Structures are given as C-alpha cells and as structure tokens.
C-alpha cells in the first residue's frame, strides 16, 4: 500500500468540529491543512489547528462559508491541491465540485455528476426503483405548488399514497422543507410552506409526496467506493431519535437486526450506490417499517455527522479513506476487511449530539458564551468538538457544539458508558441538549431498543424533567446546608463527642458532601437546566 501522503495540502471548506476532525486526519496522513474562517470564527479551534488559515468573509454563511468562489480562491492562494467540504454548506453542491475541478483542485467527495444526480431525491428514487430496491409509495416528479396550477393531479396522487403523508424537499435534507399532512384540506398549504422553506434553505423549492409510516425507524448504511468501481458497505446506523425530523442520537449497529437482515440491507444499499456510479463516501438511508421491511429514502453524498459511530465499530478512519480514494487509490485492505465482517459486528457505539439548544423549549437554538467546557474521558469515550471555554456561540451557524461518542463490547455496556460520560460532561454559560441526553440514557424504552422516528415526540416530557431538577436542587441545597451546619462548632446539629470532635446526628449514608453531592446533581441534570 502506498504510504506517501495522498496530497501535499488540503483545504477544509468548513468550520467547527468537522473542520477539526478533517485537519486531524490530514495531519496523520502527512498532508498540510488549510482552514477558512469568517470573522465570527477568527479565534476558533479549527483555525488554530490548521497549518494555514484564510479569512473568507463576515459571519453570515452566504458571505463566507457558502461563497464557493472565495473558497476556491483561498485554495489556489495557499497552494492546496484538494478541497474537503465536510458536511453541510457546499458539501453536496455539484456546481462547487465542478468549480474545484475547473481550477485544478481535487474535490474530496463524489463526482459532480453523481452529486447532481443524488442531490435530487426524486432522481435517486427513480434510480432505486430501476434496480429493484423497495421504495415508499410516493411521487417521482415535483408536485405543483402554485395555487394557480391545478392541484387535481397531486390530490389524486395523495389519495393513492394514503394519509398521513409527507411533503418533502427534492433537494437538501436535515428536516428542512418537510411537512406532515394528515388530511386533504392540509395539503395545499403544506405544499406552499414546504416549498418556501426548501427554496430558502437549498435554493430549490421543488417538493414531492411520500407515504408517512407510523412507528418506522431510520436506518442508514455507510458506503465507500473507489475509482475501480469497487463499492462496499461497512455497516449500518440507527438514527431514529430525532427532533423536527433532524437526528440527535445515532448508534451502530442498528439494534435488533440479525446478521441475515444486515446482509440484505447492505446489499440493497450497494445496489443503489452502483446504480448512481458511487465514488468516495456516501450514505444510503432507509426506513425500517414496523413489519420489518426496508424501504429506500435517499442518498446523502457526503460524510455524515454521525460517521464516528461507524468508525468506532468498524475500526476505520472514514475521513482518511475519503482523502485516499480522492487521490485515486483503491479501497484499503482495512475497508475490505471491515465490509466482510460488517453483518456481524463485535462492538456497539452510540453518539449524542451536544447542541446549543433548549430541549425544554422545543430544542430552540440559544446563544451566549461558554463560561465552562469540560469534556469527559476514559476508556471507550470520544468527543469531537469545535468549541472551548470562552467560545461565543452565535446563531449564524448550526447549533452543534460537539459529539459525544462511546464504544463498548455490546449495547448495554455502551449505555452504561454513555451514562458515565454524560455525568462527566460539564458545560456552563448557555443551555445545551445535555438534560435530554441524560434522560435518554436512563429511559427504559430506549434501553430496550423501542425506537422510532417519533420517539422524542412520544416520550420526552421536558416540563416534568425541569420540575424534577428544581425539586432535587432544592433538596440538595437544604441537605448541604444541614451538613455544613453540623460541621461548624456551635452550629445547628453540632454534637461534640470525645475530644471535642464534631459528630453529626445524621446517618453516615445520608451525608451529601463531596462526590455524592455532584453525583446526584449530575444524574438529575440539576446543573443542566436554566433557573
């Protein structure tokens, strides 16, 4: 295997934790890295981590991270020979990949042709149907949106698909441009609203209809392909725990699947990838219905936020593999070996996304300065972060602060490790999603693998959790004050024994000083909720 660096210098066209992740992979491969940054990120960790850094504009993404011309210019200015887009921003834009190639730069990702095909979910649905991969009932062409257009045809499609159904954006993802429709009267306004949101987010207002499956699970397959046409699946992930149709918790492998079921799913994913000429890393997403059948949803032609759980289970570095494949090298022996054992994994990994959001108020984004930031550690714990104490968290970008990942021999052990790691994770200054994750790690339904895409909607009761946290906080304060008083000479509860020693009349097991105080506070999320 070629041990020389695949590239001399790679520009990372992103920010935050994923930029740090890519820079680390470049360093291990012997490639220099170039960071780009907006004015808001001038002192960000990813800027300091890179070998070179170039300012590309003011904070607004449209004036910086979405300016493909400035990013290409920065790559040429610094002598980069490749561009890694990460995820989000320009990662799935065929025109950006084309502009990189036109400038003589290697785009680390699928070809512009593949991006153009997969960026259109309707085209991906048609490709899957052509090769016999099951899909959910739905439409294959954009639905009419303008009220002046006749809605008779789309209403007929909706009746054929059945209620409830989803109106979905044909371009982009992340839950944007998506509306659930329960009955015929809601269809027209849902089409307009979804189209407007999709237009604002992706520059394309095309939408289509798809059956909504109650109690379904979101399961996706990680794929890698090289220039020789070799395509493999290296494992699947369950991403069913979502809010607003956006993932918040992911794990690998998907709970409850047999080896035979995994092989079937992986084969379906490879078939879709082969149909669109995959090269580099993509993810094929499926819905697992309550009756145990898989239906293709879409293909994300980029690195996923949750790629780390597959890395931990498959023992791979997917970013390094991306860069190597982009340099024209075949899939590594490690990838081929991982694919061979993917149906029978020997580890389990879980990732939770720690975001600047208030889980008690519909996961609304929040802003502020991170007064404290202490990450957990120990065996089987990984934290991918792009922030630190003192970081000013704004609302210009995605609220993701970090990803906490754990790996263990099985799911029960991984859950125990997750609970321990969450207890060690300390953040102050702004609200985060940690209270939700603390609850989830203890939830019986989650522990038993009773997953579905509406899990959060059905199980999460933030008002109850907030009230409980406040009650426990009051009890802890009272108990701690009592302990303090009992230890002060002459204080309330002061009982001096032989030699003048202070002897509390509280049973030893009831004392709440030291680590016990912190343990209870962490378990109940007392310090994770705003007052």
Can you spell out the DSSP letters for 145-194?
A: -STTS--HHHHHHHHHH-SSEEEEESS--TTTT-EEE-SGGGHHHHHHHH
Distances (CA, A) of 400 to 40, 108, 317: 16, 23, 21
Separation of alpha carbons 428 and 411, rounded Å: 30
């649905």: which residue's tokens? 125
385 within 8 A of 401, measured Cβ to Cβ: yes
Residue with tokens 């009349």: 505
Whether 444 contacts 459, CB under 8 Å: no
Is residue 374 within 8 Å of 298, Cβ to Cβ?
no
DSSP state for residue 119 in the 8-state scheme: T
DSSP three-state, residue 213: coil
Q: Rounded to an integer, what is the distance from CA 358 to the centroid of its chain?
A: 17
Peptide bond connecting 6 to the previous residue in cis, omega within 30 degrees of 0: no
Helix axes 94-102, 68-77, angle to 10 degrees: 30
**Whether the bond into 164 is cis, omega within 30 of 0:** yes
Selecting among 302, 347, 465, 528, the annotated active-site residue is: 302
Q: Count CA atoms closer than 13 A to 255's CA, side-chain side.
A: 21
DSSP structure class, residue 488: S
**302 an active-site residue?**
yes
Query: Residue 163, exposed/middle/buried by CB under 10 A (0-12, 13-18, 19+)?
Result: middle
**Which CA distances in Å does 259 have to 346, 348, 477?**
12, 14, 51
280 DSSP β-pair partners: 225
CB 449 within 8 A of CB 403: no
528 neighbors 438 (Cβ within 8 angstroms): yes
Inter-residue contact 486 to 494 (CB < 8 Å): yes
Nearest partner of 440 among 422, 463, 454, judged by Cα: 422
* 202, 171 Cβ separation under 8 angstroms: yes
User: Nearest to residue 86, comparing CAs of 64, 70, 65?
Assistant: 65
Torsion angle of C-alpha atoms 200, 178, 261, 309, degrees rounded to 10: 50
Q: Which residue has the tokens 């590309």?
A: 56
Quote the Cα angle for 242-119-298, to 5°: 45
Instruction: From 152, 140, 213, select the one nearest 187 (Cα to Cα).
Output: 152
Residues serving a catalytic function are 302
């Amino acid at each position: 295997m070629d041990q020389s660096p695949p590239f001399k210098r790679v520009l990372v066209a992103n920010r935050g934790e994923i930029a740090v992740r890519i820079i680390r992979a470049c360093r291990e491969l012997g490639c220099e890295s170039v960071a780009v940054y907006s004015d808001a990120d001038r002192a960000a960790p990813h800027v300091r981590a890179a070998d070179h850094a170039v300012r590309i504009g003011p904070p607004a993404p449209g004036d910086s991270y979405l300016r493909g011309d400035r990013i290409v210019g920065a790559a040429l200015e610094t002598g980069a020979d490749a561009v890694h887009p990460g995820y989000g921003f320009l990662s799935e834009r065929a025109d950006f990949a084309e502009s990189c190639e036109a400038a003589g730069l290697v785009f680390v990702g699928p070809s512009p042709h593949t991006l153009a095909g997969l960026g259109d979910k309707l085209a991906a649905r048609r490709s899957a149907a052509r090769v016999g991969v099951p899909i959910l009932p739905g439409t294959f062409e954009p639905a009419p949106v303008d009220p002046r257009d006749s809605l008779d045809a789309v209403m007929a499609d909706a009746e054929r698909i059945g209620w409830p159904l989803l109106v979905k954006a044909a371009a982009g993802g992340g839950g944007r441009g998506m509306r659930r429709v329960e009955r015929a009267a809601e269809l027209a306004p849902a089409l307009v609203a979804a189209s407007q949101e999709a237009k604002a987010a992706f520059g394309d207002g095309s939408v289509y209809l798809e059956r909504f499956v109650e109690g379904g699970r979101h399961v996706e397959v990680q794929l890698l392909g090289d220039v020789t046409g070799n395509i493999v699946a290296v494992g699947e992930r369950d991403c069913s725990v979502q809010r607003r149709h956006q993932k918040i918790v992911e794990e690998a492998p998907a709970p409850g699947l047999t080896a035979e079921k995994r092989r079937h799913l992986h084969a379906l994913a490879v078939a879709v990838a082969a149909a669109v000429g995959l090269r580099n890393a993509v993810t094929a997403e499926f819905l697992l219905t309550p009756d145990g059948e898989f239906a293709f949803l879409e293909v994300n032609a980029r690195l996923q936020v949750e790629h780390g759980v597959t890395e931990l289970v498959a023992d791979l570095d997917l970013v390094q593999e991306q860069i190597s494949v982009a340099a024209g090298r075949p899939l590594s022996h490690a990838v081929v070996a991982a694919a061979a054992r993917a149906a029978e994994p020997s580890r389990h990994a879980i990732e939770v996304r720690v975001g600047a959001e208030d889980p008690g108020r519909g996961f609304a984004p929040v802003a502020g300065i991170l007064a404290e930031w202490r990450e957990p550690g120990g065996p089987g714990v990984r934290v991918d972060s792009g922030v630190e104490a003192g970081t000013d968290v704004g609302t210009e970008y995605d609220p993701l602060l970090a990803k906490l990942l754990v790996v263990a021999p099985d799911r029960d052990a991984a859950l125990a490790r997750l609970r321990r790691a969450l207890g060690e994770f300390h953040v102050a200054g702004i609200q985060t999603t940690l209270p939700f994750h603390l609850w989830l790690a203890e939830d019986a339904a989650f522990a038993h693998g009773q997953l579905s895409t509406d899990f959060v909607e059905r199980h999460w009761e933030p008002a109850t959790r907030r009230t409980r946290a406040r009650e426990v906080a009051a009890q802890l304060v009272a108990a701690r004050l009592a302990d303090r008083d009992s230890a002060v000479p002459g204080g309330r509860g002061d009982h001096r024994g032989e030699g003048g020693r202070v002897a509390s009349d509280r049973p030893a097991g009831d004392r709440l000083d030291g680590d016990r105080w912190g343990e209870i506070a962490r378990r109940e999320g007392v310090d994770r909720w705003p007052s």
